[in-house]
A and B are shown apart, each in its own frame.
Chain A
Amino acid sequence: TQLLEQSPQFLSIQEGENLTVYCNSSSVFSSLQWYRQEPGEGPVLLVTVVTGGEVKKLKRLTFQFGDARKDSSLHITAAQPGDTGLYLCVYNQGGKLIFGQGTELSVKP
């Protein structure tokens, strides 16, 4: 079983649309991270959420950590083609990263 369940796994939308990616677990986490990976490259850290109920914004990206610290979401407003990539929900276990299955996002112009 997957520790971190991400949904949806694939998402294809038009430029300008909004979207939300979910990361769920039955476990409680001290923190969760979101990474983005572009084709042929390594993942890059977007944000770390630490406090239950926390909301962090990164331009058009809004990250939320659930009150019970079991889940997180990523909302993108007015998606752009440059947002295309693989979005990964990650638990950092003392430097050892546990990855969700990832959400492959494609934003078409």
Chain B
Amino acid sequence: GAVVSQHPSRVICKSGTSVKIECRSLDFQATTMFWYRQFPKQSLMLMATSNEGSKATYEQGVEKDKFLINHASLTLSTLTVTSAHPEDSSFYICSARGPQNTGELFFGEGSRLTVL
């Protein structure tokens, strides 16, 4: 199936710094990607929809200035957690709609962020 790759898989940073997470579609073009956040033992929560060449659409309650999303190409979306704090520690996952238009979404491996 289609492959979506995230980088880094794990990152530890100090409070107040910014962290960038990349999401790439490796063998297909993705005009739309989705970013999710997941706390331990919980389900995924949609944060925002990333649209290539335009502004991301954020879900209610998600701060757009805190979680900056850039979708500059058809194969890359980035999520930057700005001025990270310990409460931002979480598992961040991206997904992209597959090339076959079957409705299936393919997920990246996830990025675990720990803010000290």
Contact = CB atoms under 8 A, between A and B. Distances in A.
Contact of A40 (B46, B97, B107, B110): B110
B110 A41 contact: yes
Contact of B42 (A40, A48, A95, A102): A102
B97 A42 contact: no
Given A42-B95, A96-B49, A48 B109 contact: no
Interface in B12-48: 32, 34, 41-46
Contacts of B103: 31, 33, 48, 92, 95
Nearest to A10: B41
Of A42, A45, A88, A104, the most chain B CB neighbours within 10 A belong to A42
B43 A42 contact: no
Nearest to B33: A95
A68 interface: no
Contacts of A95: 32, 34, 97, 103, 105
A88 B41 CA distance: 12
B42 A42 contact: no
A102 B43 contact: yes
Contacts of A99: 43-46
Interface in A11-31: 31
B43 A97 contact: no
A31 B43 CA distance: 19
B81 to A, nearest CB: 18
Contacts of A98: 46
18 contacts: A31-B103, A33-B103, A40-B112, A41-B110, A42-B95, A42-B107, A43-B107, A48-B103, A92-B103, A95-B32, A95-B34, A95-B103, A96-B34, A97-B34, A98-B46, A99-B43, A101-B42, A104-B41
Interface of A: 10, 31, 33, 40-45, 48, 86, 88, 92, 95-102, 104
